[in-house]
Chain A
């Protein structure tokens, strides 16, 4: 179970907005990447968001560049999960591969507000907005994807498989 405060964004949030291109030369320091999350367009995020928070997006979250820093920065900021109406495919895969829980939930935009507290049962996709009491159903992930995320991402997963 993941419980956290919602940071809400709109539709079509692109990876340039999540992680600006000028910081792409940072390739190896996730702590530094985290400091630039949403920096140019939503500067209050880094100031006010807290580790343990949850990011909620509208449709097509994470569109644009394949840069996985746009997932790494949020993961190392301490964001516990990302939920959106839909995702751009590369962003979705990057989150899985980096072990950051990610769920598609139709209707989430209209059912949660900035600052609401939500409970997420990742395995079943059940989401409860504890602020309003409303319940939502996200699409649960296939078993093999759950396994990658639960192992901590593709690298630990491959390390484990290599050992077997």
Chain B
């Protein structure tokens, strides 16, 4: 069986499952952010008094923090009250950062487990070998009530990655390239398994970029290999300061697809000659090499998000911005993905580099990515961004334009005031 099949068989209490089969699976972790407000409303309508397992639900705020409106403040308040009433164990309020970074940091993303989240980029947790899929709010209310969800066992696409990245080319460029090749629905309803020598070398942060953005080719789940690196990361997150296991601790073990697993497709990519890529407006699969659009004037440069707000992303941008200035005509926004990363970036001096270069540092969270607040675009404006979606009107005016690229490309572009390649 593939990874998706193995995990769904286990969660569905079956020995073996095959693509197309519908299983009723037991959920290990149920994650929600601000839209927990939608979930709790639906949950109350079911008429149950208690959620199925208060220790398996994780809630935090990241989409609109601090509250940008009275309405959001009321949402936050209602969710806090629900959390207190239900005794939800793992509630992080707005203090820690973006859900897809915070859950791994707090030890909730575990190989072989079933995690559902009311956020489409829940695929990110597949980087740890978790079957992690996005669902809607009402469906989550059903999970809160029963602890179960029906899932169709997906076909799996295997993607073998080989070669060594050139300087200033990263996981972001690779996944944009793949999305450009497969199309925005190239993996709709499918499980994706990344593997190959490049994956073995890749950092946890890089793997998270691949799993995160696989959503943008429609993937239901997207796995990276579970290896020593994964186990080290996950184990280190599952003990408290005294080294004793937290309540979330479970047996963490390497899970691999069977050697005779059956794949719908096997694709191979060699990154050795890969150049920096950019997804042009207004579709994530409208991908071109950066050199084809370089010179285009930009107004905003955004570094952050659940896709690229991790320490190595900030490091890559800081290296380029060291002793340089962001162009006068550009506002650059830097949003570390979590408080932990914020602190590490501070200690490493990256934040100082960004501030001296003229960038604004915003609090960990989703920032303007989904168009709620903190840096929206006016008509005619162009933003180069490390985020994950460039849909029309996503980040403000329907007449604004979002280009998605790597942290290195965003940093280089911020300096030039136009889309630029990092090695120039």
Binding site for B on A (CB under 8 A): 12, 14, 16-17, 20-22, 24-28, 40-41, 59-60, 63-69, 71, 86, 88-90, 93-94, 97-98, 142, 144, 153-155, 158-159, 162
Contacts and interface: CB of A to CB of B under 8 A. Distances in A.
Contact of A93 (B22, B136, B218, B371): B136
Contact of A90 (B46, B64, B136, B370): B136
B34 A24 contact: yes
B75 interface: yes
Contacts, number: 133
Contacts of A41: 392-393, 398
B201 to A, nearest CB: 31
Interface residues of B, number: 49
B100 to A, nearest CB: 13
Interface in B378-401: 389, 391-394, 398
Q: A17, A59, A155 — which one has the most chain B CB atoms within 10 A of its CB? A: A155
Contact of A159 (B45, B122, B136, B372): B45
B138 A159 contact: no
B136 A17 contact: no
25 contacts: A12-B184, A16-B393, A24-B34, A25-B64, A25-B71, A25-B72, A25-B75, A27-B38, A28-B37, A41-B393, A59-B185, A60-B188, A60-B218, A63-B184, A64-B120, A64-B389, A65-B370, A66-B134, A66-B136, A68-B136, A89-B218, A93-B136, A98-B138, A155-B46, A155-B142
Given A40-B393, A66-B122, A144-B22, 12 more contacts: A21-B370, A21-B394, A24-B64, A40-B398, A64-B120, A68-B137, A89-B188, A89-B218, A89-B220, A93-B139, A144-B150, A155-B46
Interface string B115-134: 00011101000000000001
Given A60-B184, A64-B389, A162-B48, A154 B134 contact: no
Contact of B138 (A64, A89, A153): A153
B184 A71 contact: no
A12 B184 CA distance: 8
A20 to B, nearest CB: 6
B10 interface: no
A98 B42 CA distance: 10
Nearest to B142: A154
Interface in B33-84: 34-35, 37-38, 41-42, 45-48, 63-64, 68-69, 71-72, 75
Contacts of A89: 188-189, 218, 220
A97 B185 CA distance: 22
B380 to A, nearest CB: 15
Interface of B: 22, 34-35, 37-38, 41-42, 45-48, 63-64, 68-69, 71-72, 75, 118-120, 122, 134-139, 141-142, 145-146, 150, 184-185, 188-189, 218, 220, 283, 370-372, 389, 391-394, 398
A24 B218 contact: no
Given A21-B394, A27-B41, A89-B218, A12 B141 contact: no
Contacts of B42: 154-155
A71 B122 CA distance: 20
Contacts of A40: 392-393, 398
A151 B215 CA distance: 31
Contacts of B46: 155, 158-159, 162
A22 B135 CA distance: 20
A158 B142 contact: yes
Contacts of B392: 16-17, 40-41
Contacts of A158: 46, 142, 145-146
Contact of A71 (B22, B136, B220, B283): B136
B142 A16 contact: no
A24 B36 CA distance: 12
B120 A66 contact: yes
B391 A64 contact: yes
Contacts of A153: 138
Contact of B141 (A22, A27, A154): A154
Nearest to B186: A60
B185 A68 contact: no
Contacts of A26: 71
A141 to B, nearest CB: 12
A27 B35 contact: yes
Contacts of A28: 37-38, 41
Contacts of B45: 155, 159
A153 to B, nearest CB: 7
A27 B75 contact: yes
